[in-house]
Chain A
């Protein structure tokens, strides 16, 4: 595909259909084996969704939210929305119902596409989201207002005309440092720039197993969009439980992972090697990955040098990249041919990086328009010249490679790529009398709450008693959080935290207190 012809996501999906035609774009498990959706069929179905949206919105441009695991149906609704200038709001499939409602309302969504597993929530969402006029279940589902299979039967494909490079394509919610998720506004041009900033990353011969959440821009750009550009096939992993089985079923040639998954698969390879000492570990590694894997791309969080070396020793190159949702997401990336380095890749084409007071700032056509309806946060992230302040500390070497040395902002980045705001979790304790002070941070990759209890309440109670009580309390708080954000460790301290002159708890102070 001539990348110069791609200006919008509508161009990308149309050109992919023209160039790769009946080749399989998506493979997914179905009741009777593996279902395939060709590039042609995918574009046709997206155009039918576009016709449906035109119909129900009476020609007006709308925002539509979508929730569910990766599937051809999900992506057809995504592209059906954006290919004519409407805006898609992909929601985290792990969100609880009140959070789903909040983000539907905050994003001004009027249409809601949902995987049928969310059906039990629909009545409550209808009550809480008065602006939504149309609900569509992605699968056939009794009682649903609309179901995608019927839409695909009923409507004729309609090409989109109103998607332009500078038009908003998507609002992607990401953890903010102040607690509330911020809506990153990404344009067609942003996505296209990030999809075309590198070359020769895959080919029509490649098959990828997509295992990361599709609402993440990292997965969306690098699995979904790059496969459209290069004509590669996206195989859908139906559950995190079944990656091992799906690797054997789909036998991918390339994979995009986050460090946590890379680490677990590495452990499995090592365990299998231990059980079969006569078989070379590299052979076991290939067997685990299905036998055709050429290499792994990793992003979302920092990959340890030990793991990179471990995979390399197994004959599997692992290339690390770096970016953020606000940059669609890639700022730098390595290739599978690169020599081992502790860098997080080389700065991608058209992206400039400048280090300001130690902080990495980036400027490129991939950088977002801003945060939806949040001018203050936008002004904080984007300066007047359009430089994106990443919050990461680091440097660039003479080969244009980025090295990360720390974080400026208080954002916890877990090894599964999820970003967690410590303030959001600390705020959950605001009304809890038993906790006088709390600091949340990641310790050994585990979200930890270090607590100075209210001794007026606990009096002379010992650590064990207080610890048991605090564990109960945390269990209740965890019920209000998505599973990736739950607090899994409590440290009980007996002295107050060190504070700034404005009486704010200083972050980055020495960990104190016993784990209870």
Chain B
């Protein structure tokens, strides 16, 4: 999932995927805007056939937290 996340992240910002870690923060470290983040989760929702709750994702800040959240929705 982390690799998929990295691939999608690179569609939004110009970063070296090797530098993205679980602790990378979307806005502060990767340079996302808040809508990039929503959009990325929307892509994952579409691709993985899961349902993401808009209210639940506002507190996600890091890549690791996002991966964990997506995994929990798949379960």
A residues apposed to B, CB below 8 Å: 117, 239-245, 260-261, 263-265, 267-268, 271, 415-416, 444-446, 483-484, 488-489, 515
Contacts and interface: CB of A to CB of B under 8 A. Distances in A.
Contacts of A117: 55
Interface in B1-59: 11-12, 27-28, 31, 33-36, 38-39, 41-43, 45-46, 52, 54-55, 57-58
Contacts of B31: 444
A303 B15 CA distance: 24
Contacts of A268: 11-12, 39
A263 B41 contact: no
A446 B34 CA distance: 10
Interface of B: 11-12, 27-28, 31, 33-36, 38-39, 41-43, 45-46, 52, 54-55, 57-58
Contacts of B57: 241
Given A243-B42, A515-B28, 11 more contacts: A240-B38, A240-B39, A241-B39, A243-B39, A245-B46, A263-B35, A264-B36, A415-B33, A416-B33, A444-B31, A446-B28
Contact of B39 (A244, A444, A488): A244
Contacts of A264: 12, 33, 35-36, 39
Contacts of A239: 42, 54
Contacts, number: 61
Given A241-B41, A242-B45, A264-B12, A489 B28 contact: yes
Given A446-B27, A488-B28, A241 B52 contact: yes
Contacts of B43: 244
Nearest to B57: A241
B34 A244 contact: no
Most chain A beta-carbon contacts within 10 A, residue among B28, B35, B38: B35
Most chain B beta-carbon contacts within 10 A, residue among A241, A263, A268, A445: A241
B42 A241 contact: yes
Contacts of A267: 11-12, 36
A488 B54 contact: no
Contacts of B39: 240-241, 243-244, 264-265, 268
